[in-house]
Amino acid sequence: MNPNLETKIGKLILKNPVMVASGTFGYGEEFEDYVNLKKLGAIVTKTITLRPRKGNPMPRTCETAAGMLNAIGLENPGLESFISEKMPILKNLGVPVIVSIASEAGPDEFITLARRLDAIKEIAAFELNISCPNLKSKKLISQDPVTTYAVVTKVRKITDKTIITKLSPNVTDITEIARAVEDAGSDAVALVNTFTGMVVDINSKKPKLANITGGLSGPAIKPIALRMVWETANAVKIPVIGIGGIMTPGDALEFIISGATAVQAGTANFVNPGAAEDIIDGLTKYMKDNKIVHIKNLIASLRG
């Protein structure tokens, strides 16, 4: 038996539900020598902003117990350089490309980015990064359901491409934000982005990150992310993409069984560049061993 892992998100049809998360896989070319890219469900690019960003000052990453903190600050070449330098490479990778976009100066930048990128046929979908915790803004777009609704609504009017909206866990009730995203016309929600955290060097009595705080990712956040995915999958009808500490096939299975239609491997890529491939192989083996014909039969199969 050859199990069917095909996964549908909006208009986007993936050969399997395993993606690589934004900010952990560059623009794909960085991993060409280590990973069979054509095997992946999709690549989510490093987040693009309208203008180039240098990111936050160094140091901006550090290890933590069962995870890592990062305060990269959305370093990227900007829209025009992305189109001229990165898209020619991404076009030829042989895997669906989901472009992550974010705003620096206000929600309207999402509109400019989406309008400019919508004409590029090789872009399969957009991931709206409304949840990066490492910028200087006091409040994230994804922490306000009204602003979230407004942004997604405006982008929806511009593009027929699949829209995935990435949510922050740094909220009181993530299902409230997810429902606003669904009502606004997003094809899916991706969760969670990183949790805000910090680490102190006890010898210097200084934060280990120049930005003081950063985004916590890795295995340490998996149980919380899993709970949020389960809650959200029970609150909305659109697909939920699970993110947060997914390192192994077993981790991915937990998210899918709890209601995720697809998953993204993030921090795992720094530890094992072949993590996404391993997860795909593990899902296939699990389905064969358990005589599961189609991945959709595994989604939200959690027993009470």
Whole-angstrom Cα distance, residue 243 to residue 65? 19
Is 166 domain-assigned?
A: yes
Q: Coil, strand, or helix at residue 200? A: strand
Report the CATH number at residue 110: 3.20.20.70
In a domain, 175, yes or no: yes
Rounded Cα gap, residues 275 and 258, in angstroms:
21
Q: How far out from the chain centre does Cα 211 lie? A: 22
End-to-end CA distance of the chain: 29
User: Which distant-in-sequence residues (6+ apart) come within 8 Å of 11 by Cβ?
Assistant: 160, 161, 162, 187
In a domain, 99, yes or no: yes
Residue 116: phi and psi, rounded to 5, are -70, -40
pTM of the model as a whole: 0.97
Q: Measured between alpha carbons, how far is residue 190 from residues 19, 131, 303 in Å?
A: 11, 10, 23
Instruction: Note whether residue 40 is domain-resident.
Output: yes
Q: What is the pLDDT along the chain (304 residues), one digit of tens a residue?
A: 899 999 999 999 999 999 999 999 999 999 999 999 999 999 999 999 999 999 999 999 999 999 999 999 999 999 999 999 999 999 999 999 999 999 988 889 999 999 999 999 999 999 999 998 756 666 899 999 999 999 999 999 999 999 999 999 999 999 999 999 999 999 999 999 999 999 999 999 999 999 999 999 999 999 999 999 999 999 999 999 999 999 999 999 999 999 999 999 999 999 999 999 999 999 999 999 999 999 999 999 999 8
| CA angle centred on 16, ends 169 and 184, rounded to 5° | 45
Please indicate, yes or no, if residue 205 is contained in any of the structural domains.
no
Would you say residue 80 lies in a domain?
A: yes
231 located within any domain? yes
| CA dist list (Å): 144 to 116, 151, 171, 183, 223 | 26, 11, 9, 14, 24
Range of the domain at 14: 7-55+74-196+217-297
Q: How many domains does the chain have?
A: 1
Question: Would you say residue 30 lies in a domain?
Answer: yes
Q: Establish how many alpha carbons lie within 13 A of residue 88's alpha carbon, considering only the half-sphere containing its beta carbon.
A: 4
> Which of the residues are catalytic?
132
